[in-house]
Amino acid sequence: MAKVTLKSVKKNYGPVKAIHGVDMEIADGEFIVIVGPSGCGKSTLLRMIAGLEAITEGEIVIGDRVVNDIEPADRDIAMVFQNYALYPHMSVHQNMSYGLRIRGMDKANIEKRVQRAAEILQLQPYLQRKPRELSGGQRQRVAMGRAIVREPSVFLFDEPLSNLDAKLRVQMRLEIKRLHQQLGVTSIYVTHDQVEAMTLADRLVVMNQGRADQIGSPFDVYGNPATTYVGGFIGSPAMNFLSCRVETGTGGPKAVLADGTALMLPAEWTPPAGNYTIGIRPETMRIARPGETAQLHLNVDVAEELGADTLLHGKLGDEDLVARVPSHAGYHDHSRPGLMIDIARAHLFDPESGLRIAL
Amino acid sequence: MIERRPVANAFGHLMLVAMIIIVAFPIYLAVVAASHTIQDVSQTPMPLLPGAELLTNTARALFDGPQLVGVSGATPAIVLMMNSLIMAIAIAVGKIIISLLSAFAIVYFRFPLKNFFFWMIFITLMLPVEVRIIPTYKIVADLGLLDTYTGLVLPLIASATATFLFRQFFMTVPDELVEAARIDGAGPMRFFWDILVPLTRTSIAAMFVIQFIYGWNQYLWPLLIASDYKYQTIVLAIGRLIRAPDAFYEWPVIMGMAVLALLPPVLVVVLMQRWFVKGLVETEK
Ligand SMILES: Nc1ncnc2c1ncn2[C@@H]1O[C@H](COP(=O)(O)OP(=O)(O)OP(=O)(O)O)[C@@H](O)[C@H]1O
Ligand SMILES: [Mg+2]
């Protein structure tokens, strides 16, 4: 086991800048999830740690070795690929033991490790089968088995579950979590699925076009997104962003929205007056109770029934707003409910840079 | 596409049957001719039904060779077939090894002028042996390789076709497999032997069949290289037999030899058919 450190790691593909400089300290035994939309450089970053991609600039340290010029096989890592990358002509047993055989490990030891990994992953009945005779989930387990038998100090996963169906994905997600608790090996996991990211991560890295916008615990990233980008990416449906003007006057600061609605801000917030973007999570809004004066009225275009909740999609002025309310609230398309906002959980962002304003 | 059109179907079948008859009839005649005594075959019209002498005649072809009156030193077919076999197998195996290695280099390595070399190889596809036969002969002669197995095999051993085929196959092998092997610690040659070659085995089988038949059927090159009877191939010898001047042909034995010459390629195709077809159609990896 080892800690992993990235020091302003950059990657250029010719003139294309894929990674603009990522700094990260990963503690021993930590489960890090790198999340972001397609093309943001997640795989590139992971592959640089694996040694499959050359590092243009910066340094990667695994344990206490700088590994920039070390071959993947000697970095003490193991990788699980999205499409499993099992050797099609080898049995499950051979697939798992191949790396050990190359290393020249003795038979008894190999056998011990393979059996143990097979036991952990419940693969014993399939050891003699070829990959094509296995289901997707079983193949993915073999791929993990191949990583486990190496007993590496770092596991790298590149979207390992995205080829599986939804149900299996949930199951394998749990299995990966359990495996990590059991083995305690430092893991770096790439995904574009935010549920996977939230549930697996000790810490989350949200990537945005080759930069790490925020690194933090899932709770922190969700509750205090560093940028509008992070707020928009983590959470489903996404955080609402409304442009507003903050006025400081008698009776405390208030945010005036584009349609004229004025929201009182918590008294302890002291932003200078000016233009901002206010970020409001859909679930921090609720229907106004009878007798309450609604803070804003939403013209609902579509009410999406999800079962437990209903999503009210509507417009405030010409800006979109989504509110998540309990299902039995009885609102339909084209209704106009009055809403209350838990304003303490809202955030102000700089409208130009998208950075959250510390309050 | 599944269509039910009885007339077209019947027509298709008719065409196929006709084709089979056209292709198979001369072979049938050869077998029939090999199964009669020389007197029976010499009648006009020659018999169209098999006789009883097939084994005697082929055995004679195999162990004694047809006697040509006025020509001494008949070579038994077993020697000729052994030469053909050596040549065909050496060509097939050699072509496969060289093509695998060159395709491996072209697909997996970066080296200066890589594309130039690839296109050079590719262009030679358009130059059959016959076109470059004079310079090739000169080189082989200068190297003192006339009347040797090396001389028979070496100039035919490089194959642009096979290189191209293996290159295409290698390019379909997913990158992640290469990377997984790299992480597992497999160096390039290890990856080649442990992973690439086993994955390519059906294509290799298909190539073997094609190249074996190509080698077996070589005529022009052995004709130039093998003047010594010890190095003649069976295809060449059959050609020579029926061109012997003023000779009295032992037709049944010659036909027996022709039938024998057919057998190894047929055998190779039959034995490797399953793999051969797989290699031509398989896409699963
Ligand atoms: N070999 C390459 N040459 C040039 N550009 C590349 C190369 N590989 C990746 N890129 C670019 O680098 C950027 C990051 O790619 P990367 O594969 O890391 O994205 P990703 O976040 O893993 O996306 P996905 O979720 O689709 O897998 C992309 O814009 C991509 O176009
Ligand atoms: Mg990727």
pLDDT tens-digit readout, B139-162? 999 999 899 999 989 888 888 888
Q: What is the rounded CA–CA span in Å between residue B88 and residue B48? A: 33
At A335 the pLDDT is 84
B149 CA to middle of ligand 2, Å? 54
- Whether B69 shows a pLDDT value over 50: the answer reads no
Straight-line distance from the first to the last Cα atom of chain B, in angstroms, rounded to the nearest whole number: 26
Which has more confidence, B13 or B50? B13
Per-residue pLDDT band at B282 (split at 50, 70, 90): low
Alpha-carbon Rg for chain B in angstroms: 23
At B91 the pLDDT is 94
Residues of A in contact with B191 (CB under 8 A): none
Per-residue pLDDT band at B272 (split at 50, 70, 90): confident
Residue pair B184/A99 in contact by the 8 Å Cβ criterion: yes
CA nearest ligand 1 atom 10, residue: A18
- Per DSSP, the three-state class of A71 is coil
- Whether B67 shows a pLDDT value over 80: the answer reads no
Which range, of A127-141, A257-271, B41-55, B240-254, averages the lowest pLDDT? B240-254
Per-residue pLDDT band at B285 (split at 50, 70, 90): very low
- Whether B16 shows a pLDDT value over 70: the answer reads yes
Comparing CA positions, the residue from B193, B192, B200 lying closest to residue B105 is B192
Mean pLDDT of chain B: 85
Judged by a CB distance cut-off of 8 A, whether residue B194 touches chain A is yes
- Name every residue whose Cβ is closer than 8 Å to that of residue B146 and which is 6 or more positions away in sequence: B140, B225, B227
At B130 the pLDDT is 79
Which has more confidence, A291 or B97? B97
Q: Write down the residue that tokens 């949930």 correspond to.
A: A170
Q: Write down the residue that tokens 């989504």 correspond to.
A: A322
A91 CA to middle of ligand 1, Å? 32
Q: What is the rounded CA–CA span in Å between residue A188 and residue A190? A: 7
* B183, B194, B284, best to mutate vs chain A, most A CBs in 10 Å: B183
CA-nearest residue of chain B to A98?
A: B184
Residue pair B102/B163 in contact by the 8 Å Cβ criterion: yes
Alpha-carbon Rg for chain A in angstroms: 25
Structure ipTM: 0.84
Using 70 as the pLDDT threshold, list the residues of chain A that sit under it.
1, 329
Which has more confidence, B127 or A13? A13
- Per DSSP, the three-state class of A328 is helix
At B42 the pLDDT is 77
Q: Which residues surround ligand 2, an ion (CB under 5 A)?
A: A 43
CA-nearest residue of chain B to A104?
A: B185
- Whether B68 shows a pLDDT value over 70: the answer reads no
At B244 the pLDDT is 61
Ligand 1 interacting residues, C-beta cut-off 6 A: A 13, 16, 18, 36, 38-44, 192
Of B179, B184, B285, the CB nearest to A102: B184
Comparing CA positions, the residue from A33, A67, A30 lying closest to residue A158 is A33
Per-residue pLDDT band at B246 (split at 50, 70, 90): low
Tell me the CA distances in angstroms from B31 to B26, B233, B237, B262, one per residue in order: 9, 21, 18, 11
CA nearest ligand 1 atom 26, residue: A38
Paired tokens of B187? 């160096």
Mean local confidence (pLDDT), B61-73: 64
- Residue B198 and residue A99: Cβ atoms within 8 Å? no
CA-nearest residue of chain A to B179?
A: A52
Residues of B in contact with A72 (CB under 8 A): 179, 182-183
Residues of B in contact with A50 (CB under 8 A): 179, 183
- Whether B283 shows a pLDDT value over 90: the answer reads no
Which has more confidence, B253 or A106? A106
Q: Which helix (H) or strand (E) holds A7?
A: strand A4-13
Best residue among A12, A17, A43, A190 to mutate for probing ligand 1, ranked by most atoms within 8 Å of CB: A43
- Per DSSP, the three-state class of A37 is coil
Q: What is the rounded CA–CA span in Å between residue B35 and residue B33? A: 5
Residues of B in contact with A83 (CB under 8 A): 174, 176
